[in-house]
Amino acid sequence: MVPFAVVGIVLWIIAALIMLPFRDHLAKAGHGDWFGIAIAGALWGIPGLLTMVVHDRNRRRRRARAASDSFKTDTPTAP
């Protein structure tokens, strides 16, 4: 999931950089909020990225625990 969050943040940053030279023109046309929306999208992507990092780490830990539990046997050994 981390790559999706990173791509989303990068796309918002690219959109903001593309709009940066046109801020005045966008404001005159009544679309001045779009630059702020792009910045907000990039900033809100950071908590999403951190959430995905924690989620992936926990999923890896659960899978490793399940794999190690599957190798354990509960059968008693013969004397």
pLDDT value at residue 70 = 72
pLDDT digits (tens, 9 = 90+) for 19-66: 999 999 989 999 989 999 999 999 999 999 999 999 999 998 988 888
pLDDT value at residue 74 = 57
Residue 32 near residue 23 (C-beta atoms within 8 A): yes
- Reported confidence tier of residue 68, pLDDT bands at 50, 70, 90: confident
Residue 9 near residue 45 (C-beta atoms within 8 A): yes
pTM over 0.75: no
For residue 2, which of 51, 38, 61 has the smallest C-alpha distance?
51
